[in-house]
């Protein structure tokens, strides 16, 4: 697998780590995730089906493939449309570690999202909880109802904000004022998603795993 394709997977994974829901039976929909940092803005379409999520990978303005996450099986598959191949990371692959972030950041309890996040956090088990949530009441995000929360990061004391859509059971907006970064879900269209979006096309072949590095000799 090319370095550029692996980089595309990693970027997509990081971009979507905070936007996946816990309830596999939650409302199906399509949307666009908008990630803005200062003057830079990235837009990535994604689809939420029955226990699965698919989002596009891009290079510049071109769509290069997709990444599909299966909630029930806890698997991740990356599709490369240019070579008509797919990639399934192994257990020690960095992509697999990023896949775990999808599950960690899903709001398992929309009445107290920090409960699930703290239970799943593994970075520093000796010093829980990692996050504290304070409800700021009802709000709206792009015309949809949302519950707004203030997040306090225990280690640094810094705060941020999160908005959870009570109908989608999705975290639809996050804001880090210090870093001037905002991620939000736009153009939500509720409705059943085609099962074919979450399957590997029949014409695609599996990528061979990267060859292990050769030992160096003096």
Q: Please tell me which residue, 168 or 198, carries the higher pLDDT value.
A: 198
- % of the chain exceeding 70 in pLDDT: 69
Q: What is the mean pLDDT of residues 49-69?
A: 86
pLDDT band with cut points at 50, 70 and 90 for residue 89: confident
pLDDT of 167 above 60: yes
pLDDT of 6 above 50: no
State the pLDDT at residue 202. Answer: 95
pLDDT of 203 above 70: yes
Its pTM stands at: 0.74
pLDDT of 36 above 50: yes
CATH tag, 3-206: 2.50.20.10
Structural contact between residues 38 and 22, judged by C-beta atoms closer than 8 angstroms: no
pLDDT of 210 above 80: no
Which residues, 6 or more positions from 212, have their beta carbon under 8 angstroms from its beta carbon? Answer: none
CA distances in angstroms from 139 to 78, 171, 177, listed in the order given: 35, 13, 18
The angle that helices 94-104 and 3-16 make with each other, rounded to 10 degrees, is: 10
Whole-number mean pLDDT of the chain?
76
Q: Please tell me which residue, 118 or 23, carries the higher pLDDT value.
A: 118
Could you identify the residue written with the tokens 């640094």?
156
Omega before 64 cis (within 30°)?
Answer: no
Domain boundaries, the chain: 3-206
Q: Quick one: which of 63, 53, 33, 56 has its CA closest to 187?
A: 33
- Residue 122 has phi, psi (to 5 degrees) of -125, 0
- % of the chain exceeding 90 in pLDDT: 27
Q: Measured over all CA atoms, what is the biggest interatomic distance in the chain, rounded to whole angstroms?
A: 66
The angle that helices 113-120 and 94-104 make with each other, rounded to 10 degrees, is: 150
Please spell the DSSP secondary structure of 121-148, one letter per residue.
--TTTTS---EEEEEEEEEEETTEEEEE
> Rounded distance, CA 94 to CA 104, Å?
16
């Amino acid at each position: 697998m090319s370095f550029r394709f692996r980089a595309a997977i990693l970027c997509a994974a990081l971009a979507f780590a905070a936007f996946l829901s816990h309830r596999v039976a939650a409302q199906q929909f399509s949307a666009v995730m908008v990630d803005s940092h200062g003057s830079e803005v990235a837009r990535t379409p994604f689809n939420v089906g029955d226990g699965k999520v698919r989002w596009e990978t891009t290079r510049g303005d071109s769509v290069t493939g997709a990444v599909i996450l299966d909630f029930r099986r806890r698997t991740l598959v990356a599709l490369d449309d240019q070579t008509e191949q797919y990639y399934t990371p192994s257990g020690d692959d960095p992509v697999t570690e990023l896949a775990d972030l999808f599950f960690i950041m899903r709001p398992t309890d929309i009445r107290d999202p920090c409960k699930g996040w703290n239970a799943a956090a593994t970075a520093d088990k000796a010093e829980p909880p990692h996050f504290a949530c304070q409800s700021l009441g009802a709000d709206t995000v792009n015309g949809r109802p949302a519950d707004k929360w203030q997040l306090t990061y225990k280690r640094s004391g810094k705060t941020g904000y999160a908005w959870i859509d009570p109908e989608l059971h999705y975290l639809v907006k996050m804001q880090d004022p210090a870093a001037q970064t905002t991620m939000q879900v736009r153009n939500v269209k509720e409705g059943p998603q085609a099962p074919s979006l979450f399957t590997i096309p029949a014409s695609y072949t599996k990528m061979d795993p990267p060859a292990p590095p050769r030992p160096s000799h003096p």
